[in-house]
Structure 1
Amino acid sequence: MTLFDKVQPFLVLLSILIGLVLAQAVWFSDVASTIIVPLLGIMLYATFLPLPLQRFGRVLRNFKVTLASLLVNFLWTPLFAWGLGAVFLQGSPDLRVGLLMLMVTPCTDWYIVFTGVAGGDVALATALLPLNLILQILLLPAYLFVFAETLVELNPIDLLESMVWVLLIPLFLAIISRQFVFWWKGNIWFEQTIAKITVVQVISLNLAIVAIFASEGGTLLQRPELLFLLFVPVSLFFVTNFLLAQWVGRCLRFSYEELACFSCTTLARNSPLSLAIAVSTFPHRPLIALTLVIGPLIELPIMVFISQLLLRIRRRGQWK
């Protein structure tokens, strides 16, 4: 786990605090709203650039883990997220949409780190990444129309434009850049240099969080109970899915390494991708974006705990 991975929760919290302070300056609040989407676009470009989109062979070779993770991530989790929102956030439609967007997008970066920390199959986790990314890009609009259309107004044209500008264009540019660098400098140079891209990703994400809270932080200050409203459903999601992963792993006779990979890929969520869509699709509903920023503050400490819990299970010989 790199230094940036270790301090990311604290950087997010610091960015929120800076944004709330800057929100008191009206002129900065107005400027901040115009730079959020460009910053998130840069962040996603830096996220997509290292992704090995061609590594599907390992996924096909481990059909059990692949199929189980797809069913949990893209069938069970959307239904479960909708149910959690209906039970715990019934009077807050924007929070329900934010929770849904957070939960239906599997992580495409940190889960590999946590898989490694837990002693899991990192190669398999890496191979699952492009499949998770492509499916969530394709399915996120469908989830919104199926589960959120009765909660907020959805314009198909606006959603399509948002997907193109903040997802497809950064993804296309990242693929082109990657191939150009391979041709110009070679694979070895790329692999040695790509770690530096993490810095760009972290900086742009945290600057975007500063801008979001500078622009809309007044809403959170007026409603501090939002943190407590989200804590219960988000925590319940992780507890339930962790237990589900244990049950599925035993039923399908996963090795410990497969279990750790399966647990991390079905638990960690991709809040930056959802955040980019939320900001561009729902610019006048700031609570949706705020939910997606608050979510990782709850998620990351839980994922650290889960990775250590998995190691404890292995050390005690509780997984055969």
Structure 2
Amino acid sequence: MRRETLERHQVWLYLGAVSMGLALGSLTPGLGSTADALLWPVLALLLYATFTQVPMAALPTAFTEGRFMAAALLGNFVLLPAAVWALMQFIPENQALQLGLLLVLLVPCTDWFITFSQLGRGDATRATALTPVLLVLQLLLLPLYLWLMSDADLRVVFAPADIWPAFVVVLLPLALAVLTEVWAGRSRTGAAVVLRLGWWPVPLLAAVVLLVAVAHVGSVLADAQLLPIVLGVVALFLAISLLLSRAVASAARLNLAQGRTLAFSMGTRNSFVVLPLALALPAGWETVAVVVVMQSLLELFGMIFCLWFIPRVLFPDPRASTGEKPSRAR
């Protein structure tokens, strides 16, 4: 199997993992504590494998593409946060639901958006260069966004005694991934390891989703009535992000491949990074993690649609209608 095939069909793997996890958790409740214990190391491994695919060495290179970078930063860190704030005004007064949506919708994706950009005839090179910038800025800006938009008492919800494991699970794999990248830059063996790690995120995310379902089956079933609300918000967010990406790309005079990449960047969110924070919250806030998982699965269905919509409708190649061979991203 090719890696591209695995990534193209990943949504079905995750749905199977959720179904299996809910069945196991319901039929064997005693597995919940074991799944909860396994969840953190598997999540840390997932983040490590994911972060190794984020080229931190490309950080300076990213700023050489001034118009594309400005468009991506404006869209992801100014326009979309404003749109998220507007969407929150119509959400029921459920603080856990609101916090879950804020956590996941405010952070742009740094992993599978590269794959979707490539599959959707975007510019994978610029997508790759953009990812470390997105990762660094979201880690810095997320606390500010939450302080401005959340009605929850963040000092209680994010008490240091509860969430310090989440920071370890995020920051330790990030540090190890940077060291691995340095090793890969100096050694063929290291480069081969990074290449192999590129296969890991999809099966590891499936394992994480399965473990979350087993460990939190009660919360998942109890919060099932929230699915239509989350679905509506995710669909509206995706529609808004696509419209904004078209407007920003036109204003910045981006070419077709850059515009498509911008659309995939603005339409995808970074559930991997915020999931540890959601899982570390104190008792009573389990809904936050459920919402994050719901969003990530719904987003994948949205990306299946976007693989058709973005290159054919939102950023169509005019030569395709004249019978010429469509342009491909570099």
The alignment's TM-score, normalised by the length of structure 1, stands at 0.90
Q: Please, which of 79, 83, 91 is the counterpart of residue 80 of structure 1?
A: 83
Counterpart Cα distance in 2 of 1:156 and 1:144: 14
The equivalent residue for 1:118 is: 120
Counterpart Cα distance in 1 of 2:165 and 2:89: 26
Q: Which runs of 5+ in 2 are unaligned?
A: 322-330
The Cα shift of 1:10 comes to: 1.1
Task: Report the AA paired with residue 52 of structure 1.
Answer: P
Listed one character per residue, the Cα deviations across residues 176-227 of structure 1 (whole Å, up to 9, x for unaligned) are 23323444x33xx544443321333223322221121112112222342221
Is residue 2 of structure 1 aligned with residue 11 of structure 2?
no
Residues 197 and 244 of structure 1, relative CA distance in 2, 3 Å threshold: same
The equivalent residue for 1:296 is: 296
Is residue 145 of structure 1 aligned with residue 154 of structure 2?
no
Residues 107 and 282 of structure 1, relative CA distance in 2, 3 Å threshold: farther
Equivalence map 1:1-320=2 (5 Å): 2-24=4-26, 25-87=28-90, 89-150=91-152, 153-158=156-161, 161-162=164-165, 164-183=167-186, 185-186=187-188, 189-282=189-282, 284-313=284-313, 314-316=316-318
Q: Which runs of 5+ in 1 are unaligned?
A: none
Would the aligned equivalents of 1:45 and 1:170 in 2 still touch at CA under 8 Å?
A: yes
Counterpart Cα distance in 2 of 1:67 and 1:80: 18
Residues 158 and 259 of structure 1, relative CA distance in 2, 3 Å threshold: farther
Would the aligned equivalents of 2:124 and 2:261 in 1 still touch at CA under 8 Å?
A: yes
Counterpart Cα distance in 1 of 2:161 and 2:129: 32
Residues 159 and 145 of structure 1, relative CA distance in 2, 3 Å threshold: farther
CA RMSD for the aligned pairs? 2.3
Counterpart Cα distance in 2 of 1:93 and 1:21: 28
Residues 283 and 35 of structure 1, relative CA distance in 2, 3 Å threshold: farther
Counterpart Cα distance in 1 of 2:166 and 2:136: 12
Would the aligned equivalents of 2:35 and 2:212 in 1 still touch at CA under 8 Å?
A: yes
The Cα shift of 1:133 comes to: 0.8
Counterpart Cα distance in 2 of 1:79 and 1:65: 20
The Cα shift of 1:162 comes to: 4.2
The Cα shift of 1:239 comes to: 0.5
Would the aligned equivalents of 1:58 and 1:124 in 2 still touch at CA under 8 Å?
A: no
Would the aligned equivalents of 2:163 and 2:280 in 1 still touch at CA under 8 Å?
A: no
Would the aligned equivalents of 2:96 and 2:287 in 1 still touch at CA under 8 Å?
A: yes
The Cα shift of 1:131 comes to: 0.4
The alignment's TM-score, normalised by the length of structure 2, stands at 0.87
